[in-house]
Amino acid sequence: MERIAEGEYAVMEVLWNEAPLTAADVATRVPEDRGWSLATVKTMLSRLLAKGVLAYEEEGRRYLYRPAIRREDYVAEESGRLIDRMFGGRVPALVAQLAARDKLSPADIAEIETLLKALKS
Amino acid sequence: MERIAEGEYAVMEVLWNEAPLTAADVATRVPEDRGWSLATVKTMLSRLLAKGVLAYEEEGRRYLYRPAIRREDYVAEESGRLIDRMFGGRVPALVAQLAARDKLSPADIAEIETLLKALKS
DNA sequence: GAAGCAGAATTACACATGTAATCGACAGGG
DNA sequence: CCCTGTCGATTACATGTGTAATTCTGCTTC
């Protein structure tokens, strides 16, 4: 699966939330703070098509875009990459790091514990 | 803190493991599979200096390079970025994803549980 | 039917990154 | 003293990315 750049990812997010959409619709749904013009969004869409992570169907003269890959799959790949690179593939090392940085609220801890408990049965 | 590109990161890894080192020494320690020439390694070193994430001291005519940022800090920043982008900042969502993908061995689970238990006291 | 508008396609351009080669300075061996 | 190897510094060049503007083409509206 081709790599998706940071900006492109924002477009994918939109389409993972709602699809199919026209280019114009995607543009209105991209987070405000990107400050993108419609032209920029169209560039992103083309590049994502070229990467094969989006598909489209023609609706009259317009395209309706939709994701061609599943969000879970991409997210899994990216997180795997990070865990491999930064933690030698060891998930516990990641969790230890988060713990050391106080990134885990008591609620997070409880939630994770419940998750893990369920896994063991 | 400036962003470190994938390739540059490999150089940082070397120096986080052992520092200070000369450019030549870094080159020999970069993973084989990169297939980098010494020139490439030198480019990386310059760019990392420019980004302020490396420092050096002169030893005669050579530089001895050493990290100017701590590995933990950088790793924390990067993992935070990924968790924010892909999991809405929710660590349990990340763990759930890993679980759903069978990325957690029984040993991992046990290790994480121990970790979390320690946190609560 | 001409003019404009709305889509996608094409082109643009600067900065980042991967991957070097080349340059200019100097140190050490003959 | 000069040659050569070794440094860092500078330059190179293709591809990716952010961020558009421009072009081409066909539908709509006078």
Give the mean pLDDT of chain A: 96
E-assigned strand segments in B1-121:
54-59, 62-67
CA–CA gap between residue A46 and residue B103 (Å, rounded): 33
B5 contacts chain A (CB < 8 A)? no
Q: Which of A87, A85, A86 is nearest to B112 (CA)?
A: A87
- B32 CA vs D4 C1’ separation (Å): 29
SS3 B60: coil
- B2 CA vs D6 C1’ separation (Å): 31
Of A72, A82, A92, the CB nearest to B82: A82
pLDDT, position A15: 98
Contacts of B86 by beta carbon, 8 Å cutoff, 6+ apart = A75, A78, A79, B94
pLDDT tens, position by position, A75-120: 999 999 999 999 999 999 999 999 999 999 999 999 999 999 999 8
Scanning every residue of chain A, which has its alpha carbon at the shortest distance from the alpha carbon of B73? A101
Reported residue count of chain A is 121
B113/A116 CB distance under 8 A: yes
Please spell the DSSP secondary structure of A88-112, one letter per residue: TT-HHHHHHHHHHTT---HHHHHHH
Question: What are the CA-CA distances from residue B5 to residues A50, B2, B76 (Å)?
Answer: 23, 10, 16
Listed as ranges, the nucleotides of chain D within 7 A of a protein C-beta are 6-12, 16-22, 26-28
DSSP character at residue B54 = E
Whether residue B50 contacts residue B6, with contact meaning beta carbons closer than 8 Å, is answered with no
B103 contacts chain A (CB < 8 A)? yes
pLDDT tens, position by position, A21-60: 999 999 999 999 999 999 999 999 999 999 999 999 999 8
Residue that is written with structure tokens 């980004």 in the block: B51
Amino acid at A95: V
Nearest residue, CA→C1' of C19? B40
Scanning every residue of chain B, which has its alpha carbon at the shortest distance from the alpha carbon of A96? B115
pLDDT, position B16: 98
B70-93 burial, b at 16+ Cβ within 10 Å, e below that, comes to eeeebbbebbbebbeebbeeebbb
> pTM (2 decimals)?
0.92
What count of other Cβ atoms lies within 10 Å of the Cβ of residue B22?
15
Q: Give pLDDT tens digits along chain B (121 positions).
A: 889 999 999 999 999 999 999 999 999 999 999 999 999 999 999 999 999 999 999 999 999 999 999 999 999 999 999 999 999 999 999 999 999 999 999 999 999 999 999 998 7
